[in-house]
Amino acid sequence: MTTLFISDLHLTAERPAINELFFDFLVREARHARALYILGDFFEYWIGDDALDQAEYRPIAQALRALATAGTPIYIMRGNRDFLFGSRFERDTGCRLIEDPTVIDLYGTPVLLMHGDTLCTDDIDYLAFRKMTRAQTWQREFLAKPIDERDAIARGHRELSKQSTAQKAPEIMDVTQAAV
């Protein structure tokens, strides 16, 4: 048995082929694994656990639950796009949230798991946004908004991020060697 690691799938209804590849991966590969680790940015964006009530997310949650019920432990780390995973996500999917960073024992060897966005220390704008969105007050206020409003905000931030990314030098958005 092997332990599988995936990250940055950015699942969304707008790219159904990727979702289908993920479902196939769960059935063909992950069901035989000792464990599956999802290391962030599983979804294009996550606006709160009540998104599980939306048709877009239901099949993904059900597929994860089926894998967990069949005996494959699933560990999921919050990324920069899905940092709002909470207890309902764990309950409904069978996934277990793990902190970023986390050290695991992989067949007798300690292994550091990270999403990696905290290593992009030259991207000052992103780090400021990250700090703001990880604050309990910001999260509480955001999650109190209606889901349609949260979705519109997230889509707007994705567009702004795309524009910002196009204007930044690639090395600013990459891992800073000194941070490693």
Q: Are 35 and 67 spatial neighbours (Cβ–Cβ below 8 Å)?
A: no
Q: Considering Cα of 107, then 91, then 82, then 24, what sign does the dihedral take? A: positive
Whether residue 171 has pLDDT greater than 70: no
- Rounded to 5 degrees, φ, ψ at 105 are -95, 110
The 3-state secondary structure of 72-88, one letter per residue:
CCEEEECCCCCCCCCHH
Predicted confidence band of residue 95 (pLDDT cuts 50, 70, 90): very high
Per-residue pLDDT, 178: 67
What b-and-e string marks burial along 41-69, b requiring 16 or more CB atoms within 10 Å of the CB? bbbbbbbbbebbeeeebeebbebbbebbe
- Mean pLDDT for the stretch of residues 12-25: 98
Nearest alpha carbon to residue 22 among 53, 60, 75, 55 = 60
Per-residue pLDDT, 175: 65
pTM above the 0.85 mark?
yes
Q: Rg of the chain over CA atoms, in angstroms?
A: 17
- Of 57 and 160, the structure prediction assigns the larger pLDDT to 57
Predicted confidence band of residue 164 (pLDDT cuts 50, 70, 90): confident
* Domains assigned to the chain: 3-179 (3.60.21)
The residue type found at 103 is: V
Within 10 A of 163 (CB to CB), how many other CB atoms are there?
9
Q: 47 in the Ramachandran plot: left (φ > 0), alpha (ψ -120 to 50) or beta?
A: alpha
Nearest alpha carbon to residue 42 among 112, 92, 2, 97 = 97
For the stretch 69-92, pLDDT in tens is 999 999 999 999 999 999 999 999
For the stretch 41-74, pLDDT in tens is 999 999 999 999 999 999 999 999 999 999 999 9
Q: What is the mean pLDDT of the chain?
A: 93
Residue 55 DSSP one-character state: T
DSSP H helices in 29-57 = none
For the stretch 104-156, pLDDT in tens is 999 999 999 999 888 877 888 889 999 999 999 999 999 999 999 999 999 99
Whether residue 40 has pLDDT greater than 90: yes
Per-residue pLDDT, 167: 76
C-alpha–C-alpha distance, residues 112 and 96, integer Å? 17
Per-residue pLDDT, 158: 87
Give the rounded distance of the alpha carbon of 80 from its chain centre: 7
